Amino acid sequence: MKNDIEFDPDGYLIFDDTVVAKPYAKAIQSVRRQWSGSEKRVITGIGIVTCRYVNPKTQAYWIIDYRIYDIDRDGKTKLQHLVDMLRNAPFVKRLAFRTVLMDTWYASMKVMKAIEALSKVSYAPVKRSRLVSTSVASGYQRVEALTWTASEVPTGKLVHIRKFPKDHQVKVFRIASASGRTAYIVTNDLSQCDVEATHETCRLRWKIEQLHRELKQPQGSVSVSVASIVPNAIILPIVSGSR
């Protein structure tokens, strides 16, 4: 499998989770009631945290690792599964990558510190209610309440996220969508000074996730049809895709 991956020194790791619906299989191990992001509701199914490798030049991607979310059996949260896969990528799988992309749920101090310990760059959206500070004197406020100068809108704004180490700063970008919604993206790459480049990086994650959802349709390549699951055993075929 590794020989089939088109590695790039500037490769991306994208972490995401999905729930494979199993409404009539409550006796299967690892099946539980849980929130499904794609369904926008709580469903009965198997939660899977995935790690995809993306070649940024070709935008081809490969599922290179995953974990079954079954906290009752192994005691691990989805965040812990992500950190395990993150550390496996360079040390066990010997993957070449530079940037980690993830969703709001994973933008925690534990995950971001694990990424920085590997000297990697991260990008993630944060909730509008996330508390940040621009200085000790200013105190904490919701990220959506920040005041932006004309020069900060295109170049980003340095902030400290509440409960992060005292001297730890990230850069936040405010990105407006065509629908009128505003996203707030944080990165540990303090040299990043281009809101459009940040937007394009995050858009790649969205494009890959959309493509992967299409592959998971009934005619697609991914399925879970086992009667019993050994925690984190290989039950998903490795899937690759491209634009």
Tens digits of per-residue pLDDT, 83-140?
Answer: 999 999 998 888 999 999 999 989 999 999 999 999 999 999 999 999 999 998 889 9
- Residue 71 belongs to what H/E stretch? helix 71-74
- pLDDT tens readout for residues 75-98: 999 999 999 999 999 988 889 999
Crossing angle of helices 78-91 and 109-117, rounded to 10°? 0
Vertex 49: Cα angle to 186 and 53 (nearest 5): 70
Q: Of the candidates 77, 84, 68, which has an alpha carbon nearest to the alpha carbon of residue 30?
A: 68
Kindly report the pTM of this predicted structure.
Answer: 0.82
Q: Spell out the per-residue pLDDT of the chain, length 243, in tens.
A: 556 788 999 999 999 888 776 766 666 666 766 666 666 667 677 888 999 999 999 988 888 999 998 888 899 999 999 999 999 999 888 899 999 999 998 999 999 999 999 999 999 999 999 999 999 888 999 999 999 999 999 999 999 999 999 999 999 999 988 778 999 999 999 999 999 999 999 988 887 777 656 555 543 334 433 223 333 333 344 444 554
DSSP code of residue 19:
E
For residues 205 and 14, is the Cβ–Cβ distance under 8 A? yes
pLDDT of residue 218: 45
Q: Is 204 helix (H, G, I), strand (E, B) or coil?
A: helix
Give the number of other CB atoms < 10 A from CB of residue 236. Answer: 16
Spell out the domains of the chain, with CATH numbers in brackets: 2-241 (3.90.350.10)
How far is Cα 44 from Cα 31, in angstroms, rounded to an integer? 7
Say how far apart CA 12 and CA 15 lie, in whole Å: 10
How far is it, in rounded angstroms, from Cα 84 to Cα 92? 11
Phi/psi for 216 (5° steps) reads -90, 0
Side-chain half-sphere exposure of 135, counting CA atoms within 13 A: 3
Q: Rounded to a whole number, what is the largest CA-CA distance in the chain?
A: 58
Residue 154 to residue 13: CA distance in whole angstroms? 26
Task: Specify the 3-state DSSP secondary structure of 32.
Answer: strand
| End-to-end Cα distance, the chain | 20
Contact criterion met (CB below 8 Å) for 142 and 157: no
Tokens at 39, concatenated: 């369904």
Residue 38, pLDDT score: 63
